[in-house]
Amino acid sequence: MSGTYEGCLLIADITGYTLYLSQSELEHAQETLAALLRLLVDHTRPPLVISRLAGDAVISYGLGSHFVQGQTFVEMIEDTYLAFRKAIELMVLNNTCRCNACANVSSLDLKFFVHFGAFAMQRIDDHDELVGNDVNLIHRLLKNHVTEKTGFRAYTLYTGAAVQQLGIEDMGETMTAHVESYEHLGEVKVWIQDMQPVWEQKHAAARITLSPEQTVLQFETDIAMPVEQVWDYLSQPEFRTTLMGSDRQELLNRTRGRVAPGSVYQCFHGNNVVRQTVLEWQPFERILTQDLLPIPVPNTFVLVECRLVPTETGARLIQTFSTVTGPLLGRILARLAARRMVSQGQKDIEAFKNRIEEHLAVRREQVR
């Protein structure tokens, strides 16, 4: 692969590894690093492509200016961080060794660096080496004063170009503006997301589960693309319209620029509107909404779960409708409507699958 490209550059860098290595037995320290690097590699999923490993860091890139939504990209990074922290937690809990390497593993953490720009690729051995001024910039940013100035030990650093290209300006209030200065580059303004609150919030989050007794209807289909890309489509009103068999959808009540619990998908079916309030938003796993049914009985609701399961060929999408809650008359009318959905629901989920597979194929062709 050769030529000049535009895209997102991402470096995932293990924090504190140099000090950890200096204070630990080499054999066990190397085993720990290998396990953590394998985790980072496994979580570098399409549309990201690994360029190479560099010591305690994984360097990757994604081609194109709009390869995923900005929020999806942020959630991919957050998902990787959660997996990393869970791995560290398990290493500590399962540790029976008294060597320094095993005792000090909790001192390790993770930070990410994101930039958007132009770069060329040179094939060297078994990897694509990225070269260019923007590549130099993101590598320079690895040496910074972020922790010194903010106190953040684990963080994601976004350059201004990345924030603009990903369209995540509205998320700025959850980030900290920061400036670094480098010889020959001058001042570089960046935005920093502290990852510790991400871990605390996700780690403590409770889940609403739908038991078999609560399930009325369930539809599923296998989609030939990675879970992360199916999620990206699943969260967009334009494509949810197909899944829900509606005329159109609108997204309301973003939280600090993000779709989150409390956000609302308004689903238009002719003159009827189904208000789908997000109860749980678990990136790359599931979306749970509480849907206010458009029947002449107020406060009649159904829970709708869209769950993604990785498969050998891509992802399985499972859509589940719960029993109806609300006044008796509302429950009776909803049951009558559910009978008509038995055949239509499977048609809608298959139409969604076909539409997003075709859309992704076109996007891939445009990037080539």
**Cα–Cα separations (whole angstroms), residue 106 to 32, 202, 328:** 11, 19, 54
pTM: 0.86
Q: What is the CATH number of the domain that holds 181?
A: 3.30.70.1230
Q: Does residue 301 share a domain with residue 230?
A: yes
Q: In whole numbers, what is the pLDDT of the chain averaged over residues?
A: 88
Mean pLDDT of 68-77: 94
Q: Does residue 308 share a domain with residue 192?
A: no
Residue 202, pLDDT above cutoff 70: yes
The residue ranking higher by pLDDT, 147 or 126, is 147
Q: What is the CATH number of the domain that holds 230?
A: 3.30.530.20
Indicate the residue among 151, 177, 203 that finishes a domain: 203
Q: Does residue 363 share a domain with residue 232?
A: yes
pLDDT digits (tens, 9 = 90+) for 246-297: 999 999 999 988 999 999 999 998 888 999 999 999 999 999 999 988 877 8
Q: Does residue 265 share a domain with residue 238?
A: yes
pLDDT of 96 reads 56
Q: Does residue 175 share a domain with residue 54?
A: yes
Q: Does residue 171 share a domain with residue 151?
A: yes
pLDDT of 101 reads 57
pLDDT of 98 reads 61
**Cα–Cα separations (whole angstroms), residue 169 to 10, 191, 277, 282:** 18, 10, 24, 22
Query: Which structural domain, as residue segments, surrounds residue 274?
Result: 205-367
Helix axes 70-93, 26-42, angle to 10 degrees: 150
Q: Does residue 209 share a domain with residue 171?
A: no
pLDDT of 66 reads 66
The residue ranking higher by pLDDT, 134 or 294, is 134
Sequential DSSP letters for 191-234: EEEESHHHHHHHHH-------GGGEEEEEEEEESS-HHHHHHHH
User: For the chain, what is the radius of gyration of the CA atoms?
Assistant: 23
Residues in a beta bridge with 119: 5
Number of domains in the chain: 2
Mean pLDDT of 119-127: 81
Q: Does residue 124 share a domain with residue 16?
A: yes
pLDDT digits (tens, 9 = 90+) for 84-103: 999 888 877 766 556 665 66
Peptide bond between residue 47 and the one before it cis (omega within 30 degrees of 0): yes
Residue recorded with tokens 């993000």 = 258
pLDDT of 206 reads 67
- Residue 165 pLDDT class (50, 70, 90 cuts): very high
Distance of CA 224 to the CA centre of its chain: 18
Residue 184's identity, in one-letter code, is: H
Q: Does residue 234 share a domain with residue 156?
A: no
> How do beta strands 176-182 and 186-194 pair?
antiparallel
pLDDT digits (tens, 9 = 90+) for 298-333: 888 899 999 999 999 999 999 999 988 888 887 887
The residue ranking higher by pLDDT, 363 or 39, is 39
pLDDT digits (tens, 9 = 90+) for 5-32: 899 999 999 988 777 666 655 666 777 8
Q: Which of 60-74, 158-172, 273-287 has the lowest mean pLDDT?
A: 60-74
Indicate the residue among 203, 224, 240 that finishes a domain: 203
Task: Kindly report the number of other CB atoms within 10 A of residue 143's CB atom.
Answer: 8
Handedness of CA 11, 16, 17, 19 (dihedral sign): positive
- Structure-block tokens of residue 3: 């030529």
Distance separating alpha carbons of residues 123 and 128, to the nearest angstrom: 5
Q: Does residue 269 share a domain with residue 163?
A: no
Indicate the residue among 203, 231, 263 that finishes a domain: 203
- Structure-block tokens of residue 245: 């068999």
- Residue 151 pLDDT class (50, 70, 90 cuts): very high
Distance separating alpha carbons of residues 312 and 294, to the nearest angstrom: 39
Return the percentage of the chain with pLDDT > 70, whole number.
92
